[in-house]
Structure 1
């Protein structure tokens, strides 16, 4: 499997990966309700920052993706999903390592993200990459605003957490 920059032509398949991954999260109680996927505008935002990567099968069809953007001198990872048929093969780790390497190359101060604190493949996975969990009061105003927005979208605020990895 190779990792490449995703393109606008990949948007539909990236969303299908995200929707399939939603069901993995649902099984852990991390999400409920109707599945949602990133909009064209959100995916384009990652693309505009040249921080939208896909991991692809032998036919160059994406099976996972990660997207980030730069804000306040930081790399913020907005989304990372691997299709359930390809999970637990190290693809998510490789995608994250690609984004983190790009953040370091661009001499950014740190990487941030928000995630579910209880699902075993979320916060613990990011911690294995060096991310440190932050309680809401430790989060920057930007991360607090993201957590608040997630709660407004129906994600359980008691399960959500910000994380940071200084470069």
Structure 2
């Protein structure tokens, strides 16, 4: 069976923190961010919640083993991406892009307004990656209260000022 994307299953939940930890090893290449390689991962119980809501997808390899995931949740008319992680050994093969495109398609099919997220502003595989997929920065008047609160919480956890940003992708309206 070739590699593909599918909805995450309850039995996948305990595998996802290990994938997130592997993905985070890429931060070791950035001096001021290397601590993220050892930072806490999303809890298994939180993964289970998002899996139950059918807003968590996994990239699986030819042996049906998860190698990446995207965990999101609906907030009103938005789908918010909380975590996108791809095992370090398969990074750069397009699985992150395919996972994000799957979330974008979910938003389209469910007639949502946008897909949102917060991410690192200057890390190449963060904001620049999302920008290439059509996401735009949200700041000032375009930053809604929910995203502003998420950013405030992230800064309260110790992220450097202006290191994070909110982004969104507007779901195209079909006439």
Scaled by the length of structure 1, what TM-score is found? 0.92
For residue 58 of structure 2, give the secondary structure of its aligned residue in structure 1: strand
Count of matched residue pairs: 167
Cα distance in 2 between the residues matched to 1:26 and 1:42? 26
Cα 1:41–1:141 shift into 2, 3 Å: farther
Cα distance in 2 between the residues matched to 1:150 and 1:26? 20
Runs of 4+ aligned residues of structure 1 deviating over 6 Å after TM superposition are none
Measured after TM superposition, the shift of residue 150 of structure 1 is 1.3
Which residue is equivalent to 2:98? 94
For residue 66 of structure 1, give the secondary structure of its aligned residue in structure 2: strand
Cα distance in 2 between the residues matched to 1:146 and 1:26? 25
Which residue is equivalent to 1:53? 57
Scaled by the length of structure 2, what TM-score is found? 0.89
Which residue is equivalent to 1:73? 77
Asked if 1:2 corresponds to 2:4, the answer is: yes
Greater Rg, structure 1 or structure 2? 2
Structure 2 matches for 1:11-160, cutoff 5 A?
Answer: 11-28=13-30, 29-30=32-33, 32=35, 34-135=38-139, 138-160=142-164
Preserved contact between residue 16 and residue 44 of structure 2 (Cα < 8 Å): no
Cα distance in 2 between the residues matched to 1:166 and 1:96? 13
For residue 60 of structure 1, give the secondary structure of its aligned residue in structure 2: coil
Cα distance in 2 between the residues matched to 1:41 and 1:164? 26
Cα distance in 1 between the residues matched to 2:70 and 2:33? 19
Measured after TM superposition, the shift of residue 30 of structure 1 is 4.1
Aligned-CA RMSD value = 1.6
Preserved contact between residue 10 and residue 52 of structure 2 (Cα < 8 Å): no
Instruction: List gaps (5 residues or longer) in structure 1.
Output: none
Cα 1:120–1:9 shift into 2, 3 Å: same
Preserved contact between residue 147 and residue 157 of structure 1 (Cα < 8 Å): no
Instruction: List gaps (5 residues or longer) in structure 2.
Output: none
